Structure 1
Amino acid sequence: MIGELLRSQPEIALFASLAIGYFIGSFRIGPIQLGGVCGTLIVALLLGQTGARLAPDLKNIAFALFIFALGFTGGPQFFANIGRGWRYGLLSVVEIVSVLALIMIAVAVMRLDAGTAAGLLAGAATESAVIGTASEAIAKLGFSDAETLRLQANIVTAYSVSYLFGLITIVLFTSQFAPLLLRVNLRDEAERVWRKLGGEGAYGEGQRAAAPALVGRAFHVGAAAGTTIRAFEQQYGFNLTVERVRRNGAEVPAEPQLTLAPGDVILVGGRREAIVAAAAGLGEEVDGAEFGQVMAEKLDVVLTRRDLHGLTVAQVRDQATPENGRGIYIAAVTRLETTVPALPGTELNRGDVLTLVGAKADVQRGAKLLGYMVVATQKTDFVYLGLGVLVGMAIGHLGGRVGGVSLALGTGGGCLLSGLLFGWIRSRYPVIGSLPSAAAQILKDFGLATFIAAVGLSAGPDAIKLVREYGLALPLAGILMVLVPGLLSLWIGRMFLKLEAPMLLGAIAGQQCSTPAISALVGVTGNSTPVIGYTITYALSNILLPLMGPVVVGLAGKFH
């Protein structure tokens, strides 16, 4: 009876797959968590045994929206990291080349068909988007409908089997085995790098420093009397700002040329370490409640200036004139929806979202100098979104033969490239193409989950056959496809690129597009230094791996 209901109303199967799948995916065993997408696929494979099917049009629309949003949000970072982030970017190239070589070896040794080979790539690399680009490529091979469905079902089954083992392997490799191979104490290394970048200590995931990095404190002026505000601020590298001055009970404008007098009460804001250092030379600290909150304004700004790309936070401050940089502090750096530590030694990329804090006039001045403000809006520019997807579909028709192998981007590859382009244009001309981050996230999450549920339902009946045919070979291949690129990157990154261990391991997690791996790393290191390497390789691999789906299908189809 349940099977008949699901066959007559497949939308029930869709939302059951989403609800139960995300519930299953939320459970965590140590650092391992399946996630909602894999959970949805497992439930869809089971419900697919009933014969429930979703319309192919729904599947195609969902994937087009997902892959366009993926490219759109990653576009600014992708183009920013091509060239200047070459040391980390090289690791993504290592990932692409090595997994392609391993896939071809697996095709020859295990005699894999095109669908199973593509599913192995998607699962071992934990990149779900490969399923869509590879499925489209198979549909263009000219096979019968039955053979096409069988190969597409093999993608999903091979993905589901190899994903779990690939996920466990990359988490354990980056957080446990690689530090042993490097012979380092990862927590000590991360704290050393944190201090090298200008941090004062290492704090664990979910913890905060005992005192915030940016503070405001009030003092009676003593030893600093007779010094101008500008000279006083310059003495501490402009890492603090005299925000307010009260003289004889009256407010005095805190102009840079103002000379501090004995008995003045001043409110100083800025980096905590600078204020602690200045406290001894100021005088007695007093209650500053009457001044109000010094760091009153917080503003998110997208960094667009080309000349600041690759500079550290400290170098950006040094470049600014005292007038332009005064009173502006970077409290946080967000890159690809991931928070990067905002330390003096942290390198900034075009497309980063900088959280500025300070007085309202100061942060607004800083926003104009650095890029453009992220305007809080819930409206999506559907003209821009629709045009972007249409352009992507047009690009998807491009294709040809390379060395006797037929290659076609398909809607997935086309929309991915279109999303990259439209996201980059949006970052350069922010007055057009509004796609709020929350809207982009729902397009990615719901689009991918709906697509995965649709392919899982259609693959249900063939899943058991493939598992019986290959047995343990698929899980073992998935493990090797994580270990070989990981070991190569570890060797190249340490011996030739001279990358710091925490950032190197973060980059290896990023080249595998593995969020659980970076979460486990942050937990082991006790701070967020691995995220610096992770964001660069994640941005590149998240774009390059889906484009490999049609390549694997073409090569496997030729040599199978």
Structure 2
Amino acid sequence: MIEEFMTFMQNQPVLVFFLVLSLGYAVGRIPLGGITLGPAGGVLLAGLFFGHLGFTMYSAIQTMGFAIFIFCVGYQAGPKFFDVLMTDGLKYLSLALVIAATGFGLSAFLAGLLDFQPGMAAGMLGGALTTTPTLAAAQDAVSSGIAPVPEGFTEQQVLTNIGAGYALTYLFGLIGLILSIRLLPKFLGINLAKEAAKLTGGSDEEQGVNLGKITRRTYRITKTEGLDRNVGDIEMSAPGKIKVVAIRRNGEVIPVLRDTLFQVGDEVLVLGDVKFLLVETNAVAEEISDDEGLSVAMSTVKVVVSNKEVVGVKAKDLRPEQHVGAIPLSLHRHRQSLPLSGDLELRLGDVIDFYGPEEAFDRLAEHVGHVEREIEDTDLLTFGLGIAAGIMLGTLAITIAGVTIGLGMAGGLLIVGLLIGFVRSIWPVFGRVPSASRWVLSELGLMMFMAGVGLNAGGGIVDIVQTAGIKLIGAGIIVTLIPVFIGYTFSRKVLNLNPAEAFGGVTGAMTSGAALSVVCEASKSSVPALGYTGAYAFANVILTLAGTLMMLM
């Protein structure tokens, strides 16, 4: 009975994958001294267990997951990567390089000193620094043929060594980093909460535009003063201060056009600056409560200036029908915020945040340019072509002095993802991947890859533990701890970072979101996230390439 069940399972690799996925998620949630392995660690352990029992998974599933995951890493990091590069780039690039070089050098040195088999050094580097892209790039370098397989070993043996090296060092890489980040400030006598209070945090781009100064109110016109002016005249008399959204006359809602004239008794729903409405409208109208009829749903959209007719036109000279009903909130040019004023000339690619009703956005799309609505659609065309382009870029290679050098699939996907993510942040008319969709794609891709790593390495994990297990785990502890101390010392003594920002930068350079949460908790602030974001943007790229480079040594 058991043999029949095992045979059945071995013939159902898709079923095995989803069992590994579900059990791995359950294992990843089990707290170990207040620390959890997380989904990636749990799925890896579940994969090792099933792999040891002889189960396998289609190699195409692992490769597909790898491609989706690495592309998503680049796509998500793209805007911040280039932003950091153009602002504090040298500072955070140097921190990420110091930690990566320290971990890389230690891994290579210890692997040679302890006579590790090929592939273990790359796996140890990825596991000790808890950096999955390093593992992915190392395995891709072998599978794609970029890194030659040493004599006396098969490709599968090297891949198994990479996976086992990662698995045996990942656990302490996660726990050891968190413990060192938690204990080091106490050992150095640093009060992270006081240090974080000395810094001012940046704005959170995820929370969107500021609506604090914008209000919606309903008025009833009570006086004849100014009734000779139409909607367009009134809005243009105070650009950006007021927008007429809806008008109800004699109980019926009428269309709002630029030449619409008001009448005494009209009930008008307007958007506008709080101070302006409180001062200016009282002279001709009274505010009323509107429970139905004019309760128009409002939302915000990003409008990309792409219509050549408005390029070069000053904001105050836009014809009223081009923006009636929606109020501009902010304008960004090449990701830089510019003050909104009537004399500002619109340029191709300007991104303007508008607030208003849906029908106003339709007019904006017709007259101004592309409207990026808050929708859940994913641009799978760009997503698919981006992955295809990354794979093709990774196949390109040049031969120098008899040595073939190429980016590999990991490098190609990472570069294309970075570029698409950054270009979309400037010109958001394509490549839309909502955050929820991006999370699902990235997480599923990572789990497909990690399940494959565990299943492939599981068959040889016991032999590796028996021959090199203690040495590998001990070396991994060194590779985890020393970069933390060197990185923190470098960030304080050379870069002159605030301690809270320095610890955040160290966790970012080691790509550990779990360790960042420990720093933020101790700091009672999100300030460490500033350092984390800067270093993380570079570390993801550097450590991905480090996995390939390690296999070429």
Normalised by the size of structure 2, how large is the TM-score? 0.69
1:14 aligned onto 2:17: yes
**Superimposed CA distance per residue, residues 174-228 of structure 1 (whole angstroms, 9 cap, x where no aligned partner):** 78866964755367457x547xx699xxxxx99xx9x978643456899xx9999
Q: 2:391 matched to which residue of 1?
A: 392
Contact 2:508–2:536 (CA<8 Å) still a contact in 1? yes
Further displaced range: 246-255 or 510-519: 246-255
Deviation at 1:50, TM superposition (A): 1.3
The partner residue of 2:150 within 143, 154, 158 is 143
**Superimposed CA distance per residue, residues 140-177 of structure 1 (whole angstroms, 9 cap, x where no aligned partner):** 32325745444433332332344344434555677886
Alpha-carbon distance between aligned partners in 1 of 2:179 and 2:492, rounded to the nearest angstrom: 14
Contact 2:327–2:355 (CA<8 Å) still a contact in 1? yes
1:287 aligned onto 2:315: no
- Counterparts of 1:20-39 in structure 2, within 5 Å, are 20-27=23-30, 32-39=35-42
- Counterparts of 1:114-513 in structure 2, within 5 Å, are 115-138=119-142, 140-144=147-151, 146=153, 148-168=155-175, 181=190, 184-185=193-194, 188=197, 193=201, 215-218=215-218, 267=269, 269=271, 275=274, 279=278, 286-289=288-291, 292-293=294-295, 296-299=298-301, 321=316, 327-328=326-327, 356-360=354-358, 363=361, 373=372, 376-377=376-377, 380-381=380-381, 385=384, 388-389=387-388, 392-393=391-392, 395-398=394-397, 400=399, 407-421=405-419, 441-460=439-458, 461-462=460-461, 463-465=464-466, 466-495=468-497, 508-513=506-511
Point out where structure 2 has 5 or more consecutive residues left out of the alignment: 308-313, 340-347
Deviation at 1:535, TM superposition (A): 4.6
Alpha-carbon distance between aligned partners in 1 of 2:271 and 2:492, rounded to the nearest angstrom: 42
Q: 1:360 to 1:22 in 2, by over 3 A?
A: same
Contact 1:269–1:295 (CA<8 Å) still a contact in 2? no
**Superimposed CA distance per residue, residues 207-263 of structure 1 (whole angstroms, 9 cap, x where no aligned partner):** xx9x978643456899xx9999669967xxx57767568899999999999999999
Q: 1:513 to 1:232 in 2, by over 3 A?
A: farther
Q: 1:437 to 1:536 in 2, by over 3 A?
A: same
Contact 2:99–2:487 (CA<8 Å) still a contact in 1? yes
Contact 1:31–1:516 (CA<8 Å) still a contact in 2? no
Alpha-carbon distance between aligned partners in 1 of 2:163 and 2:353, rounded to the nearest angstrom: 41
The structure that has the greater radius of gyration is: 2
Q: AA paired with 1:154?
A: N
Alpha-carbon distance between aligned partners in 2 of 1:444 and 1:56, rounded to the nearest angstrom: 18
1:50 aligned onto 2:48: no
Deviation at 1:67, TM superposition (A): 2.4
Q: 1:510 to 1:17 in 2, by over 3 A?
A: same
Alpha-carbon distance between aligned partners in 2 of 1:469 and 1:419, rounded to the nearest angstrom: 37
Contact 2:488–2:502 (CA<8 Å) still a contact in 1? no
Query: How many residues end up aligned between the 2 structures?
Result: 505
1:62 aligned onto 2:69: no
Alpha-carbon distance between aligned partners in 2 of 1:470 and 1:553, rounded to the nearest angstrom: 17
Q: AA paired with 2:408?
A: G
Kindly report the root-mean-square deviation, in angstroms, between the aligned alpha carbons of the 2 structures. 5.5
Contact 1:78–1:540 (CA<8 Å) still a contact in 2? no
Alpha-carbon distance between aligned partners in 2 of 1:15 and 1:249, rounded to the nearest angstrom: 59
Point out where structure 1 has 5 or more consecutive residues left out of the alignment: 200-204, 306-318, 334-339, 345-349
Q: Per the alignment, in what secondary structure is the counterpart of residue 51 of structure 1? A: coil
Q: AA paired with 1:87?
A: D
Contact 1:233–1:241 (CA<8 Å) still a contact in 2? no
Q: 1:287 to 1:396 in 2, by over 3 A?
A: same
Deviation at 1:301, TM superposition (A): 5.8
Alpha-carbon distance between aligned partners in 2 of 1:400 and 1:509, rounded to the nearest angstrom: 37
Alpha-carbon distance between aligned partners in 1 of 2:349 and 2:181, rounded to the nearest angstrom: 27
**Superimposed CA distance per residue, residues 395-420 of structure 1 (whole angstroms, 9 cap, x where no aligned partner):** 33415569x98754322223333444
Deviation at 1:87, TM superposition (A): 0.4
Q: 1:105 matched to which residue of 2?
A: 106
Normalised by the size of structure 1, how large is the TM-score? 0.68
Q: 1:469 to 1:529 in 2, by over 3 A?
A: closer
**Superimposed CA distance per residue, residues 287-345 of structure 1 (whole angstroms, 9 cap, x where no aligned partner):** 2435734661333567999xxxxxxxxxxxxx965969994466999xxxxxx9x999x
